[in-house]
Amino acid sequence: MATSASREQVETQQTATPTTASGPTAIEVSELNLYYGSFLAVADVNMSIERNKATALIGASGCGKSTFLRSLNRMHELVPGARAEGTIALDGEDVYSPTVDPVAVRRRVGMVFQAPNPFPTMSIYDNVAAGLKLNSRRIKKADLDVIVERSLRGANLWDEVKDRLDKPGSGLSGGQQQRLCIARATAIEPEVLLMDEPASALDPISTLAIEDLVQELKREYTIVIVTHNMQQASRASDITGFFNIEAAGQPGRLVEMDTTEKIFTNPSNKATEDYVSGRFG
Amino acid sequence: MEVAAPRLPRYRHLPAWAPWAVYGAALALAFAMSRMTGVNVALLAVAAVVLAGLVVHAWSRTVEGARQAVDRTATLAVTSAFALALVPLVSLLVTVVRKGAERFDLEFFTHSLRNVVGEGGGAVHAIVGTLIITAVAAAVSVPIGILCAIYLREYGRGKLAAAVTFFVDVMTGIPSIVAGLFAYAVFAIVLGPGIRLGVIGAVALSVLMLPIVVRSTEEMLRIVPDELREASYALGIAKWRTVVKVVLPTALAGIVTGVMLAIARVVGETAPLLVTTGVITSVNTNPFAGRMMNLSVFAYYEYKTPGVPPEPYFARAWAAALTLIIIVLALYTVARLVSRRYGTEIRR
């Protein structure tokens, strides 16, 4: 479906966003097209995601940010009819290679969702331990205790729940549930943590807690965060990518990607400038 | 100085007891008139309620206004419909309890009908048969039904899933006698005509149970939010483990409730057992050898072929009916308790 117009777009985009990558690359996306059935939802994405940085993806609703994010750990293809073309290289290995097991990809690229979704049948402890226990790896109870505590501490939740680890996770507040989900995702020690609007269902205080957490988490993980909230992107991220669609029914494209500071102060693209200054979207 | 007219319309209320007093008085009057004149009480009661409804409507209209009057009438209409629906149910329960109580004694639950002519005897052979046949039917159809539902909801795509769904729907509508004849025919081909075994009845019942189990389980799996499946996949948990460890536990209470209701639905079946399990007067605990009695066929035969005098036979039939109702009630109660005790709160 690569039209000549879209090729032009790629070229302008590549010239418009010179590689600012300073750190090592964790994920290299090239020529990525994402489809729902025959509908091209995201077109021609080329992107380098740097290790131990927080990368924010911004853009209006329906521009394909979430679809793109879900393609990074092969969650995109879980939607019936959805498929991906192009390559996403995780440490140089194409995750879309036919011989790669998507389950193995997801163990290295974890994900936190928009709405907190702890497993309702499990306790707080079991929620955090779920990724390890359900993968049937044999783990000693003592080791598991250590991992659960470390993950909950990492998610700034330990002090709030240490006395009720055996209580159901659904009994926590929304913000606590979301941090529980972050603890659950980090317990399996992924390399990359994807966050799909992790704070959009939360109040401002819980949102701030999540943003602070992102700052801490990026020491150990590479973070990709989709957000509608531009203050959030400017506060919490190092690199920002702007997605846009030209019109309804058109595929979403990565318009510009640069350091967060540059995107928010001096973007090279007019559409980016309009968006971050609130003139549309 | 003139007080401004209130801008929100005011109205007075009838006292809360007023309409019910009118309806009650009308019903009491209907009963009294029926006593005196001998006219059918139901007829008079209906006429009384209609008249009382008109009176309350008119009264409410003059005091409260048109909208409240319509509300009163609508309240009466839905309440009457509810009461009307309750009449046959209550009547049935009262009849069965009253007539069944006569032989609802220790002997009924400790003796079979072996060598019993006339009074005495019991239905222990039928109770044992009902429990065994239903248990075997459940043992066959519950695992198959749940696995089938898991296939349909979690794995099935395309033509095969559509075909399975279609045939499950068709199976739901199979008349129970057809299920009985089918099961009998299958066994008769192998074991020869005239064969009567408990297990044939169990097969017939499982044919009836299967679609109910599939349908209810599928519904329960459907209301497990996809977010939970995605959360599990995102942890790198394989699909079958997600189904077993995340989806099934979340839906468990609902599935158990559905299974209980399916069992309750078939435990009182008569027609398919009539043609498959045969009639016998002694206890048989082996579903794979010999005829096997069950409660509904027991009740049917006691009523259809009584001795002389027939009263003890009729009494046993009613007691069997009461026992069956109690078993069904117990199953429903367990289903309710399970869903209340272990029901997982599913958000959204």
Q: Does A136 touch chain B (CB under 8 A)?
A: yes
Q: Does A135 contact B236 at a Cβ distance shorter than 8 Å?
A: yes
Cα angle: B271, vertex B108, B308; to 5 degrees: 75
Tens digits of residue pLDDT in A139-153: 888 999 999 999 999
Tens digits of residue pLDDT in B50-84: 999 999 999 999 888 888 899 999 999 999 999 99
Q: Does A117 touch chain B (CB under 8 A)?
A: yes
Contacting A with CB below 8 Å, chain B residues are 157, 225, 227-228, 230-238, 241-242, 245-246, 249-250, 252, 344-347
Q: Does A110 contact B235 at a Cβ distance shorter than 8 Å?
A: yes
**Do you know the residue count of chain B?**
348
**pLDDT above 90 (res B346):** no
Q: Does A120 contact B245 at a Cβ distance shorter than 8 Å?
A: no
**pLDDT above 70 (res B132):** yes
Tens digits of residue pLDDT in A30-82: 999 999 999 999 999 999 999 999 999 998 888 889 999 999 999 999 888 89
pLDDT of the residue at A20: 45
Q: Does A137 touch chain B (CB under 8 A)?
A: no
Burial class of residue A257 in the structure, from the number of CB atoms within 10 Å of its CB (0-12 exposed, 13-18 middle, 19+ buried): buried
Q: Does A188 contact B235 at a Cβ distance shorter than 8 Å?
A: yes
Rg of chain B taking only CA atoms, in angstroms: 28
B142 conformational bin, left if phi > 0, alpha if psi -120 to 50, beta if neither: alpha
pLDDT of the residue at B207: 95
pLDDT interval class at B41 (50, 70, 90): confident
User: The tokens of A124 are what?
Assistant: 């707080």
Q: Does A90 touch chain B (CB under 8 A)?
A: no
Q: Does A120 contact B228 at a Cβ distance shorter than 8 Å?
A: yes
Tens digits of residue pLDDT in A80-108: 889 999 999 998 889 999 999 999 999 99
- Please give the share of chain B, as a percent, with pLDDT higher than 70: 96
pLDDT of the residue at A279: 74
Q: How close A246 gets to chain B, by Cα (Å)?
A: 30
Contacts of B233 in chain A (CB under 8 A): 75, 78, 103, 106
pLDDT of the residue at B326: 95
pLDDT of the residue at B158: 85
Q: How close B342 gets to chain A, by Cα (Å)?
A: 10
Residue B331 near residue B264 (C-beta atoms within 8 A): yes
Among the partner residues A103, A113, A185, nearest to B238 by beta-carbon distance: A103
pLDDT of the residue at A23: 63
**HSE (CB half, 13 Å, CA atoms) of A14?**
10
**pLDDT above 50 (res A18):** no
Q: Does A3 touch chain B (CB under 8 A)?
A: no
> Looking at the predicted complex, does its ipTM rise above 0.90?
no
pLDDT interval class at B3 (50, 70, 90): low
Tens digits of residue pLDDT in A231-258: 888 988 999 999 998 888 889 999 999 9
Judged by average pLDDT, the poorest of A37-46, A200-209, A218-227, B22-31 is: A200-209
pLDDT of the residue at A13: 43
Interface with A, mutate which of B235, B242, B348 (most A CBs under 10 A): B235
- Please give the share of chain B, as a percent, with pLDDT higher than 90: 75
Judged by average pLDDT, the poorest of A128-137, B140-149, B223-232, B256-265 is: A128-137
pLDDT of the residue at A170: 86
pLDDT interval class at B2 (50, 70, 90): low
pLDDT of the residue at B38: 84
Please identify which residue in the block is written with the tokens 């009613």. Answer: B318
Contacts of A111 in chain B (CB under 8 A): 230, 234
Nearest residue to B300 via CA among B329, B331, B269? B269
Q: Does A119 touch chain B (CB under 8 A)?
A: yes
Mean pLDDT (chain A, rounded): 86
Average pLDDT over residues B154-177: 92
Among the partner residues A104, A120, A184, nearest to B346 by beta-carbon distance: A120
Contacts of B157 in chain A (CB under 8 A): 80
Tell me if the bond preceding B175 is cis, omega within 30° of 0: no
